[in-house]
Every structure is written in structure tokens, then in C-alpha cells.
Amino acid sequence: MKWESINRQELKEPNSRHLYLVMMWRTPVPGGWLIMCVNERSNDPQPNVSFYPDPSHLWNPASDPDRDTLLRPSDG
């Protein structure tokens, strides 16, 4: 299984000073993609894995119109 890096971004928790440094990867699987996220600023950076349904594997994260909304970039 080969993972492709798709993003690395700082996310700010609302009404807090806490920042997350989230790294995201994807790999194609039957019926879609497995998405793995890791918070590098955690004391125990455990991966979170999700499934993104896309049977034709057409998802292009660089051109996704919701990418900034979904990831909530930090202010600074």
C-alpha cells in the first residue's frame, strides 16, 4: 500500500490558543480512498483513518473547492 501526502496544515481550535499541525495522506482502495491524518503536535500522535467514497478515484485534493472550509486554516 502506497500513501500519497495530500496536505500539511496548521489548524486552530476555536476560542483557544491550541494549534494542531495535521498531516494528511491518502491511498486508493476499492470503492474510494483511505485517508490518514496525524497531529504532529500531539504528545501521542496516533493516526486517524477515514474512508472517502470515490469509486472512480477522481478526487483531486488540489482542486477541491471545499478544501479550505473543511480544514479551517489557522489565523497566523
* pLDDT tens for each residue of 45-60: 788 899 999 999 988 8
Burial group, residue 33, by CB count within 10 angstroms (0-12, 13-18, 19+): buried
* pTM, 2 dp: 0.66
**Under 8 Å between Cβ of 61 and 7:** yes
Q: According to the model, what pLDDT value does residue 32 have?
A: 94
pLDDT at 35 over 80: yes
pLDDT at 16: 75
Q: Among the ranges 7-16, 25-34, 36-45, which has the highest mean pLDDT value?
A: 25-34
Nearest Cα residue to 71 out of 58, 61, 57:
61
